[in-house]
Structure 1
Amino acid sequence: MTTYKSTPLFGGALVCDIPEKFADVSKLRQVPDNQEVYIDKDGFTSIIFDITERVGPAGGGLETDGRALTVHLEDLLGDDVDSVKVWNTTETEFTRLSGDIPAYTLIATQTPKSNTREATRTSAPDFTALILTLLRLEKESTDILITVNVPHIKGEYDEDEIDLAMGKQGELIGDAVEYAARIWSSLDIKDWALFKEIQV
């Protein structure tokens, strides 16, 4: 059973529950002002909170927001975007935020290009699962991205447990979905002025 702790983000402007076993990466290396990064002390999973400029035209709706989600995914993955498969996209509800703030989550996998000999020599993952949540704050001209990255490294997971086409997520992705769900239920914005301060 995962234990969580209420964690202040961006100087306490945001707060949400993060698993206790995750470490704040900014204590180890520099992290951009518009990001908070946490990594599993016992594994390879990371959780990244990213405050970015809102993508797309004013107004919302599935089409506009869906396109914004795609743009953010492409920005996140850069040249690797053609090695990504999106398995599903759903509307997401943040329990402590107003119900009229749109949010969406997608689950995707990114498989490294196998033509690099370098990758086979290092501990490059077989694939990385991504749980990407987009929170659209239109009045603040801001998008908040919450990404749970789950690298699957050979020998560190049970390959037989995973078949996303059949709905089999395996333990690591199952845990990551639980982390994301806990964030959706616990994230609260304490200081809306944050979105004026952070220049991205």
Structure 2
Amino acid sequence: MPATYKSTPLYGGALICDLPTHFADVSTIRQVPDNQEVYIDKEGFTSIVFDITERVGGPGSTPEIDGEALTTHLEDIVGDEIARTKVWNSASTHFSRLDESIPAYTLIATQSPKPADPSRGPASGSPDFTAIILTLLRLEREKTDILVTINVPHIKGEYDEEEVDLELGKQGKLIGDAVDYAAKIWETFKVKDWTLFKEI
């Protein structure tokens, strides 16, 4: 059954986009940094994180400059796990409700967990791997990068291992759903108050 969506205000309504109705706002449960909005799947483990950060990289926008920025942000997100992170593809992305001149890119990566400490045995509940769908929106005039990260942990027993083989282009249901969420965000994301970027 396809997910249902609802129009969701972000950052006090300065931004808006459609998010799946079965995702909950994490800030109602715990503190979230001011520059972030975090939503988590009430029925699973997937999370959607919006992050307003300072623009990285030189002026202008070319696939090289923006590609480097995308890599820099991915490295910031995964930290020292970068050695166990593999990028499968990246592509230019179109946000339907933003000016076409604003560049955006999306990559799909997977991150393998740290090898279990043999003395402790396997870590229970730790994912086999986590898929990351990272979209970067470059607002040069505002000196801002907006990141939308969808984290999709794949925990043994919670997904069909036969369905997932990214080398063969098989994403499986969890990643397929996350790609749908990302596509819905690209289609519905809108900036209602541009002064937001002066404040953060």
Please, what TM-score do these two structures have when normalized by structure 1? Answer: 0.97
Query: In the alignment, which of 155, 158, 164 is matched to residue 162 of structure 1?
Result: 164
- Structure 2 counterpart SS, 1:11: helix
How far apart are the structure 1 equivalents of 2:33 and 2:121?
27
Question: Does residue 1:192 correspond to 2:194, yes or no?
Answer: yes
CA RMSD of aligned residues (A): 0.9
The answer for the alignment partner of 2:155 in structure 1 is 153
How far apart are the structure 1 equivalents of 2:197 and 2:123?
43
The answer for the alignment partner of 1:135 in structure 2 is 137
Q: Deviation per CA, 1:85-141, whole angstroms, max 9, x where unpaired?
A: 100000000000000000000000000121435582321000000000000000000
Give the unaligned 5+ runs of structure 2.
none
Question: Does residue 1:95 correspond to 2:96, yes or no?
Answer: yes
Runs of 4+ with >3 A deviation: none
How far apart are the structure 2 equivalents of 1:19 and 1:119?
37
Size of the aligned set, in residue pairs, is: 198
2:39 aligned partner, one-letter code = Y
Instruction: Give matches, 1:37-76, under 5 Å.
Output: 37-76=38-77
The answer for the alignment partner of 1:32 in structure 2 is 33
- Paired residues of 2:116 and 2:122 also in contact (CA < 8 A): no
Q: Deviation per CA, 1:131-180, whole angstroms, max 9, x where unpaired?
A: 00000000000000000000000000000001101110000000000000
How far apart are the structure 2 equivalents of 1:37 and 1:180?
14
- Structure 2 counterpart SS, 1:121: coil
Q: Deviation per CA, 1:9-67, whole angstroms, max 9, x where unpaired?
A: 00000000000000000000000000000000000000000000000011110000000
C-alpha deviation, 1:183, in angstroms: 0.1
How far apart are the structure 1 equivalents of 2:65 and 2:38?
28
How far apart are the structure 1 equivalents of 2:87 and 2:107?
7
Please, what TM-score do these two structures have when normalized by structure 2? Answer: 0.97
